[in-house]
Chains A and B, each alone.
Chain A
Amino acid sequence: MSEVPMLLAEFADPQTLLDAARRVRDAGWQGRDAHVPFAIEELPEALGLGSTPIRPIMAAGGLLSGAFAYGLQWYSAVVDYPYNSGGRPLHSWPAFLVPTFEAVILGATLAGVVAFLVSTGLPRLHHPAFAAHGFARASQDRFFLAVADPEVDAARFAAKLDGLAPLSIRQVG
């Protein structure tokens, strides 16, 4: 992506951005992205982004961590340090479920946060998009559509967005 220059079209409202994103998706251009100040639920669909595997990863992280916590308790209470506490069975599984439950939550959370960072490539303090004039408003009140396709230049991009009146079209990187 770094070799192909990135084109940015700026819009003032989310609805127009969604229309523009759908046009670009239908044209099949590469390097589609958008930079927006708040979550727009329809955006992944409008850009044609695939689904993310984050939730299955969280589930797996939770199950692994829960299994580890239960296994640790079983090993310590039954094998390594058997101790008669008020006549309870050594393998007192109902009592073991509380730490296990907490471990499931913690494991799922940590897995989710790590998956989020890995899949977004964050932390990454520098990115070509930041060079675009006025990009600071992408985190406040402007909505940017990005395309990085070797076959698309600013003129083609502008022609595709005809009628949607982008506030500006810029090339960076």
Chain B
Amino acid sequence: MSGATQEAGLPPAARYAEMVSLVADPVLERRVGRPWWIAFLAALAVTLGFGLCLAWLFVEGIGIYGNNSTVVWGFPIANYVWWIGIGNAGTLISALLLLTRQGWRSSINRFAEAMTLFAAGIAGLFPILHLGRPYLAYWLAPYPNTMNLWPQWRSALVWDFAAIGTYILFSLLFWYLGLIPDLATMRDRARSRGAKLIYGVLAFGWRGSARHWQRHDAVYKAMAALAVPLVVSVHSVVGLDFAASLMPGWQETIFPPYFVVGALFSGFAMVVTLAVILRWGLGLQAIINERHFDVMAKIILAGAIAMGLSYLTEWFMGWYSGEHEERSFLSFQFTGDYAPFYYAMLACNVLAPQLFWFRACRQRVLPLLGVCILVNIGMWLERILIIWNTLSHGHLPAMRRLFHPTFWDWATLVGSFGLFALLFLVFVRLLPAVAMHDVNKELRAEKEAAA
């Protein structure tokens, strides 16, 4: 390993088999514990509630939400932007760290990618729910139809559809491709015939042939190189949904990069949150250690600074534009009806992560978890405030209205957490949560560096 690369932080004296059993045994050998069952049943109950919310939406229509004719985008779009932000991080983390040869990636990439997949899937639901006539969502796709209609290609919403569709498919393939060799390991370690059969079929008969690895490596690295511009494009397009409008506070060229940074920032916070839980739940202390938390916390700190800079740029441009609407919007942000939330958002996104200047806060679980949860709350507030502030303070003063969330707004948001938790709990029970082959590849590099 050259001096420029980051080491994985694995003990070079460890044996390959130890790493495999650390990851595989919790799935194959250990009995399901009570905490997992409690979490699973709770998540299942909340997910059923989510299903109920969706059913009610389909029956009753969009009127069950707090959206009104002024604030036409409410919780669903904020939830969408927040979830897709979290969904952006996993693939980007995995791909970017692979391309920059950051060895420590191998400890976190698998579950970060799973997080991405689940979050992007949930995110993709929200724009559909919010359509008013959700059963017509397929009209966004270009297909030969009896109405002789085509999608409006100049609309950011159609770009969104293309970007998210591509992203979900891509993330699924990237995740599964990385999983294939590990599924073969699970097949070879499983004791029951059923497990051998299921893992064996899922592994496609992978036998670790040199040719398999050569081609696997070629596709996987090329996909990683594609993932980076893809992720940037996905959240940039989400930013364009807003920036391509004429509304004060939205029509800003900074939106695409600002959305991408925000996505990475909230995504890393979510990865740390999940890593803390996973490490405790699966006993992965040897694989996910203080070093990983330390590096991720530094990235979150850098993200917080970038977010602060973005806010400053927004304020400056609002003032510098000289436009009355922009300036009045700016003062509405700081003094209007939503101002307390705005201050809370600034505290969560910019101030709280400043604790990460201190090593003790980067490496201890409690401050780490606390800050990361605050960051995720802050990022959700940012998403909802982008919508509320602008739509409640548009060009026509007579049309200005506030948004009042309803029970169904909150229930749908909470329900989406339930679905995410359910998917993640099932994932850690059935599949290896850490990429065993990648960890052992790193271990070999560490062994050779130590020798």
Query: Which A residues contact B (CB, under 8 angstroms)?
Result: 14-15, 33-41, 43-44, 47, 49, 52, 54-55, 58, 72-73, 76-77, 80-81, 83, 85, 88, 92, 95-96, 98-99, 101-103, 105-106, 108-110, 112-113, 115-117, 119-120, 122-127, 129-130, 135-141
Contact = CB atoms under 8 A, between A and B. Distances in A.
B213 to A, nearest CB: 5
B233 interface: yes
A90 B133 CA distance: 28
A106 B166 contact: yes
Given A81-B150, A102-B233, A112-B219, A38 B209 contact: no
Contact of B441 (A39, A106, A109, A116): A39
A43 B189 CA distance: 25
Interface stretch (B12-20, B316-324, B377-385): B12-20
B219 A36 contact: no
Given A102-B165, A108-B226, 6 more contacts: A35-B209, A35-B210, A106-B170, A125-B205, A127-B205, A139-B185
Interface centre among A37, A73, A137 (most CB of B within 10 A): A37
Contacts of A96: 153
Interface stretch (B156-164, B296-304, B357-365): B156-164
Contacts of B218: 52, 54-55, 116
Given A52-B215, A116-B216, A43 B201 contact: no
B217 interface: yes
Name A's interface SS.
helix
A122 B205 contact: yes
A112 B224 CA distance: 12
B153 A139 contact: no
Contact of B209 (A77, A81, A116, A120): A120
Given A106-B169, A139-B184, A123 B204 contact: yes
A103 B181 CA distance: 28
Nearest to B217: A39
B331 interface: no
B208 A139 contact: yes
14 contacts: A37-B20, A37-B437, A38-B441, A38-B444, A39-B216, A40-B444, A43-B213, A101-B229, A115-B219, A116-B215, A122-B212, A123-B205, A139-B206, A141-B16
A33 B210 contact: yes
A112 B222 CA distance: 9
Interface centre among A40, A88, A105 (most CB of B within 10 A): A105
A49 B163 contact: no
A122 B204 contact: yes
B214 interface: yes
B16 A139 contact: no
A49 B223 CA distance: 22
Contacts of A38: 181, 213, 437-438, 440-441, 444
Interface centre among A120, A135, A136 (most CB of B within 10 A): A120
B170 A109 contact: yes
B210 A85 contact: no
A73 B209 CA distance: 43
A112 B223 contact: yes
Contact of B219 (A58, A135, A140): A58
A119 B441 contact: no
Nearest to B221: A55
Contacts, number: 183
Contacts of B184: 139
Nearest to B451: A15
Contacts of B214: 43-44, 49, 52
A40 B213 contact: yes
Closest 9 CB pairs of A and B: A136-B188, A141-B16, A123-B204, A76-B150, A38-B437, A34-B210, A98-B159, A141-B17, A102-B166
A123 B174 CA distance: 17
Nearest to A69: B162
Contacts of B15: 141
B262 interface: no
Contacts of A112: 219, 222-223
Contacts of B440: 37-38, 141
A88 to B, nearest CB: 6
Contacts of A49: 210-211, 214
A102 B162 contact: yes
B188 A140 contact: yes
A92 B156 CA distance: 13
Contacts of A40: 213, 441, 444
Contacts of B165: 102
A139 B436 CA distance: 10
B279 interface: no
Contacts of B201: 123, 125
Nearest to A46: B210
A54 B153 contact: no
Contacts of A130: 207
B130 to A, nearest CB: 21
B253 interface: no
A3 to B, nearest CB: 19
Interface centre among A15, A122, A136 (most CB of B within 10 A): A122
A95 B169 contact: no
Interface string B120-158: 000000000000000000000010000011111110001
